[in-house]
Chains A and B, each alone.
Chain A
Amino acid sequence: MALSGACRDLTILSVTEAGPEGGAHGCYYIELANPGLGSAVAGQFVMVRPACFGQDPVWPRPFSICRLTPEALTLFVQTCGRGTDVLCRLVPGDTVTVWGPLGQGFGLEPDTPTLMLAGGVGLAPFVEYAATHPAPANLALVFGHRQPLSCYPFAEMANVIGRAEAFQENTPEDLPRFIELLETKVAEYAGGLIVACGPRPFLMTVARLARRFGARAQVSLENRMACGVGGCLGCVEKNALGQYVQTCTQGPVFWVEELQLSEEA
């Protein structure tokens, strides 16, 4: 049985801050008891509403599924505002309402050399991707990040996939070097499959490079959304034909050639 089709009250098992001791890096693993629910496609997301939200914040919050097992649903969350601040202060035993898995996940081609490109908290869906991939040796990861590497689930992924590379962006001067690295990698995987998740400028770079090298690439968007189920039309994105598509139901994963990926949206 899949998780979809209902709102479910899940119990928090643990909230664990990630990263070096003493630092406030804002990266957390939130583990929720999974009451016997089924599988998800990596790249799908869930909507999360802690009971303590009450009437404010009004919106639930969308998160990629970082890991879904019969025992637990794990989210990897970086605090970035009111909703995530509240969520990361929850304690074991607290209740959150969850609905999902929602949307379209990443394509998974067992025999195709696949490059995962992740920026920051955008690493989250690739934990599930690597864990559910039948031939993880075919997977490579390039991971750009700002916080210390131990804030992210990088090491455990590096252990199970073919190749993994991390690049820390400390100063603005690092950005062109990171883009050069992306260029080399996208060129190398032009005949394979590229899957990407991260901040919008990062995804725009991936899309630009994929077009240049003729690579097949998918990006996962993080557009702001209210409902997550196709009701609000707040999360739309312009497709190649100039029409709006819904990130929640038709995405969040899209082939780059499906989208315009402009600055404003």
Chain B
Amino acid sequence: MSVDTSVRLPGMPVKNPVMTASGTFGYGLEFSPYGDLRSLGGIVVKGLSLAPRLGNPMPRIAETPCGMLNAIGLQNCGVEKFLRDKLPRLPWRETPIIANLYACDADEFAELAGVLSAEEGVAALEVNISCPNVKAGGIAFGQDPCMAGKLAEAVKKRAGDKPVWVKLSPNVTDIVSIARAAVLGGADALTCINTLTGMSVDIRSRKPRLANVIGGLSGPAIKPVALRAVWQVCQAVSAPVIGVGGIASAEDVLEFILVGAHAVQIGTANFMRPDMAFRIAERLPQLMAELGIEDLASYRGSLRVG
């Protein structure tokens, strides 16, 4: 049985729904020895800011049951260096490269969007309104529907013909209200979810395991939370949702599509083994054939409830 793994995202047809999550796949190039980047549905690169960012002090990562905490603090080389040194080396003609944007306010977000919208090699802009590890902006943007809408609008205005995705935080009382506000503001798609805030401590040294004390929890431990968030958001908005959170197998990918996601991002699982995203992309059509799923559009959102 031949299956169709292609997906239509706004302004961007993709060959399969398996993408990589921002902050877990470097600038893509780091992982090219382990698989063919062109086999992925998309690559979301490490969060970019206008100026380079040093990031948080060490220690920045801690292992937790079936997951990990991180407080990297958006260390990145800055948008200019990315466009000059990294993007030209990525196979952007064959695989969509999605830039993940971080800024401290709406004006900066708009400026960054303006810079990136001029780039042929950038397929879409993913707006990070949900980073738990930075002092200015970050998660606070993603907890207020008005702010989420305002930022989506600010980026959309300067994005030209680039689709705008807004990445939502699970650290909210009602993710649906944020999702609606982002779509009203102009988001073409939503990425659900960023990390959950968490912490880990050492009872002997009496120290936190992260210098930042609090970090973002990711990995298979958060998959049920992500699945719930994607399900709720898909029920409420018509914009496509890209599911992310603990996905580590082709089975996991189908779970997210079953609850309504158009595509998914592989995050922490890239750290489990650097060929993980490639393996999942390769395995997905086999699994679809085994389950008799001819195409993803017919399977999407087909969860039988009640």
Tally chain B residues at the interface, Cβ within 8 Å.
36
Q: Do B67 and A234 have beta carbons less than 8 Å apart?
A: no
B109 CB, min distance to chain A CBs, angstroms: 22
Bound state CA distance, A265 and B60, in angstroms? Answer: 9
Q: Do B273 and A226 have beta carbons less than 8 Å apart?
A: no
Tell whether A226 pairs with B68 under 8 Å between CB atoms, given A7-B273, A60-B273, A264-B211.
Answer: yes
**Chain A residues near B58 (CB, 8 Å)?**
223, 236-237, 264-265
Q: Do B34 and A6 have beta carbons less than 8 Å apart?
A: yes
**Chain A residues near B59 (CB, 8 Å)?**
224, 234, 265
1/0 per residue A55-78: CB within 8 Å of B? 111111000000000000000000
Q: Do A236 and B55 have beta carbons less than 8 Å apart?
A: yes
- CB contact list, A220-265 vs B, under 8 A: 223-234, 236-237, 242-244, 249, 264-265
**Among B34, B60, B220, B272, contact of A234 (Cβ-Cβ < 8 Å):** B60
Q: Do A99 and B273 have beta carbons less than 8 Å apart?
A: yes
A244 CB, min distance to chain B CBs, angstroms: 6
Is A145 among interface residues, defined by CB-CB distance under 8 A? no
Tell whether A264 pairs with B60 under 8 Å between CB atoms, given A5-B33, A59-B271.
Answer: no
Residue from A58, A225, A233 with most neighbouring chain B CB atoms (10 Å)? A58
Q: Do A7 and B24 have beta carbons less than 8 Å apart?
A: no
**Among B65, B67, B72, contact of A233 (Cβ-Cβ < 8 Å):** B72
**Chain B residues near A97 (CB, 8 Å)?**
273
**Chain A residues near B60 (CB, 8 Å)?**
233-234, 236
**Chain A residues near B31 (CB, 8 Å)?**
229, 231
A203 CB, min distance to chain B CBs, angstroms: 15
1/0 per residue A152-196: CB within 8 Å of B? 000000000000000000000000000000000000000000000
Q: Do A7 and B34 have beta carbons less than 8 Å apart?
A: yes
Q: Do B55 and A7 have beta carbons less than 8 Å apart?
A: no
Q: Do B272 and A58 have beta carbons less than 8 Å apart?
A: yes
Q: Do B30 and A229 have beta carbons less than 8 Å apart?
A: yes
A245 CB, min distance to chain B CBs, angstroms: 11
Is B137 among interface residues, defined by CB-CB distance under 8 A? no
**Chain B residues near A249 (CB, 8 Å)?**
30
Is A132 among interface residues, defined by CB-CB distance under 8 A? no
Is B16 among interface residues, defined by CB-CB distance under 8 A? no
- CB contact list, B37-67 vs A, under 8 A: 46, 54-55, 57-61, 63-67
**Among A49, A58, A264, contact of B57 (Cβ-Cβ < 8 Å):** A264
Is B26 among interface residues, defined by CB-CB distance under 8 A? yes
Q: Do A230 and B271 have beta carbons less than 8 Å apart?
A: no
A60 CB, min distance to chain B CBs, angstroms: 7
Is A138 among interface residues, defined by CB-CB distance under 8 A? no
**Among B64, B270, B275, contact of A231 (Cβ-Cβ < 8 Å):** B270
**A57 to chain B: closest residue by CB:** B63
Q: Do A6 and B275 have beta carbons less than 8 Å apart?
A: yes
A40 CB, min distance to chain B CBs, angstroms: 15
Q: Do A7 and B275 have beta carbons less than 8 Å apart?
A: yes
Bound state CA distance, A265 and B33, in angstroms? Answer: 29
Q: Do A49 and B272 have beta carbons less than 8 Å apart?
A: yes
Is A4 among interface residues, defined by CB-CB distance under 8 A? yes
1/0 per residue A1-43: CB within 8 Å of B? 0001111000000000000000000000000000000000000
Is B5 among interface residues, defined by CB-CB distance under 8 A? no
**Chain B residues near A99 (CB, 8 Å)?**
34, 273-274
Q: Do B26 and A230 have beta carbons less than 8 Å apart?
A: yes
**Chain B residues near A7 (CB, 8 Å)?**
34, 273-275
Tell whether A234 pairs with B33 under 8 Å between CB atoms, given A59-B271, A227-B271, A227-B274.
Answer: no
A sample of 30 cross-chain residue pairs with beta-carbon separation below 8 angstroms, ordered by A number, consists of A6-B33, A49-B272, A49-B273, A55-B66, A55-B219, A55-B248, A55-B272, A56-B220, A57-B63, A58-B67, A58-B268, A59-B63, A59-B271, A59-B272, A60-B271, A97-B273, A99-B274, A224-B59, A224-B61, A226-B68, A227-B270, A229-B274, A232-B271, A233-B60, A234-B61, A234-B72, A244-B54, A249-B30, A265-B57, A265-B59
- Assuming A49-B272, A59-B63, A234-B59, what are 9 further A-B pairs, CB within 8 angstroms? A5-B34, A7-B274, A55-B219, A58-B66, A58-B220, A228-B274, A231-B24, A232-B70, A234-B70
What residues make up the interface of A, taking CB atoms closer than 8 Å to B? Answer: 4-7, 49, 53, 55-60, 97, 99, 223-234, 236-237, 242-244, 249, 264-265
Q: In the A-B complex, list the 10 residue pairs whose CB atoms are closest, starting with the nearest.
A: A234-B61, A265-B58, A230-B30, A226-B271, A227-B271, A55-B220, A5-B33, A231-B26, A56-B66, A7-B275
